[in-house]
């Protein structure tokens, strides 16, 4: 049976990436990304919640993320969810669910601040909330010219039904 483990987030890097190497020389980089959710509550007030995601990148991707990502950058991360378990110093069992990054896209323009929009000339709404959005008028396209083309009829003598492969 088919299964899928895929995570996709767009958010802001909350701390500078931390680069380490395993004993066998494999690069590993960890950082966290914050995502926001906005909605209108039952009483009509605007609500907001922030979720923090732990991200881990391995190999060449780890080296690139540690080199270019900085706290405050907006980034798209794609990967899979993975949960690690270990025993803490106090003897208690610990768990951590993290996104193992497989791909990412910088959304903060080069030389831009973390507050700047990735689209030139305006702001981008992060995620629509389902509230009524005012639509802007659009230009009407020029009417299309009708092109009349003769289509051979099905009962034409040129078509032999036995020659059709299906």
Contact yes or no for 58/27 (Cβ under 8 A):
yes
SS3 state at 90: coil
CATH T-level topology, domain 7-106 = OB fold (Dihydrolipoamide Acetyltransferase, E2P) (2.40.50)
Q: What tokens does 141 get? A: 């396209």
- Per-residue pLDDT at 29 exceeds 90: yes
Give 40's strand partners. 46
Share of the chain above pLDDT 70, in %: 66
Question: Is 0.85 surpassed by the pTM of this model?
Answer: no
Quote the pLDDT of residue 1.
86
Q: Provide mean pLDDT across the span 3-11.
A: 96
Note whether 109 and 47 are within 8 A (CB): no
In the structure encoding, which two tokens stand for residue 156, read together?
């034409």
| E strand segments, the chain | 7-13, 18-21, 27-40, 46-58, 74-87, 93-106
Q: Mean pLDDT for the chain?
A: 79
């Amino acid at each position: 049976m088919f299964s899928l483990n895929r995570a996709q987030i767009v958010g802001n890097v909350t701390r500078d990436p931390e680069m380490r190497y395993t004993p066998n020389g494999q690069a590993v980089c960890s950082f966290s990304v914050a995502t926001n959710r906005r909605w209108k509550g039952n009483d009509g007030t605007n609500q907001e919640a922030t979720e923090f995601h732990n991200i881990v990148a391995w190999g060449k991707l780890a080296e690139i993320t540690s080199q270019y990502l900085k706290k405050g950058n907006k980034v798209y991360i794609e990967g899979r969810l993975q949960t690690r378990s270990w025993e803490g110093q106090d003897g208690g069992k610990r768990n951590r669910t993290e996104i193992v990054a497989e791909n990412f896209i910088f959304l903060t323009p080069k030389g831009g601040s973390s507050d700047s929009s990735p689209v030139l000339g305006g702001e981008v709404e992060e995620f629509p909330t389902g509230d009524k959005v005012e639509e802007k008028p659009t230009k009407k396209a020029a009417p299309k010219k009708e092109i009349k083309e003769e289509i051979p009829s099905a009962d034409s003598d040129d078509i032999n039904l036995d020659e059709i492969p299906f």
